[in-house]
Amino acid sequence: MDLRLDHICGNEHAKRAAEVAIVGYHSILFLGTQNSEAGALAKITRWAQAECTKRYAEVRSESMSLCPCGLPEDMCCCDNEAIKLHQNKIASAPTDIKVIVARPRTEKIMRWVAQEWIDGEPDEIIKDRIDEARERLRPPFVVDSAMQLLEVAARQLGLEPSQTKSVVSVAVTIAQMAGSERVDAAHMAEAIQYQWRPG
């Protein structure tokens, strides 16, 4: 397998989440069925994190299915209670970023095949951006509107202290990637979005 993000079909939002996890060395959980790109994304992220930090021992990037059986929704026979329990466990897991990896549309898959398994930005560009972001200072200042957003999310999602800490830490990384000197509401909003909850 090629350990390259540009070999992943579609799932731009998951690739973006992987980039955030690599820059900030955040733990990340890719949520997809057993045949999805979730496993590959976890492997790529883990590899890139180890490359950047030389901390091989700690596994920070994993993949998991949204259902105990790991099958796509149309093939799954799990009962609702079992699915609910499984998903609640995922939601309460102390992972900084949780992101859904979905099956791309067939047209998208066919385009990827025609482009010889390449999709999206080339890894050389992504890697340069990661290196640049990592050299920048982490912005120490969180604006009021971002704090207000965090408070609303903490209340609505029932965030535990550790999860609240994760959100702020991820938001700081996102601001760092944007080259911002402060954490704005938009950075916080993206970080909150990575605290996945069952629909």
| 179 DSSP 8-state letter | T
Among 31, 67, 146, 188, binds Zn ion (CB under 5 A): 67
* Minimum CB–partner distance for residue 89 and Zn ion (Å): 14
- The Cα 195–Cα 96 span in angstroms is 7
Any contact of residue 147 with Zn ion (CB under 5 A)? no
Q: How many CB atoms lie within 10 A of CB 179?
A: 10
| 100 DSSP 8-state letter | E
Q: What is the H or E stretch that residue 29 is in?
A: strand 28-31
Any contact of residue 76 with Zn ion (CB under 5 A)? yes
Instruction: For tokens 């890719």, name the residue.
Output: 30
Instruction: For tokens 């929704």, name the residue.
Output: 73
**Residue 105, helix vs strand vs coil:** coil
x/- track of binding to Zn ion for residues 9-48 (CB under 5 A): ----------------------------------------
* Minimum CB–partner distance for residue 82 and Zn ion (Å): 7
Size of the site for Zn ion (CB under 5 A): 4
CB nearer to Zn ion: give 71 or 189: 71
Among 3, 69, 109, 185, binds Zn ion (CB under 5 A): 69
Interface positions with Zn ion (CB under 5 A): 67, 69, 76, 78
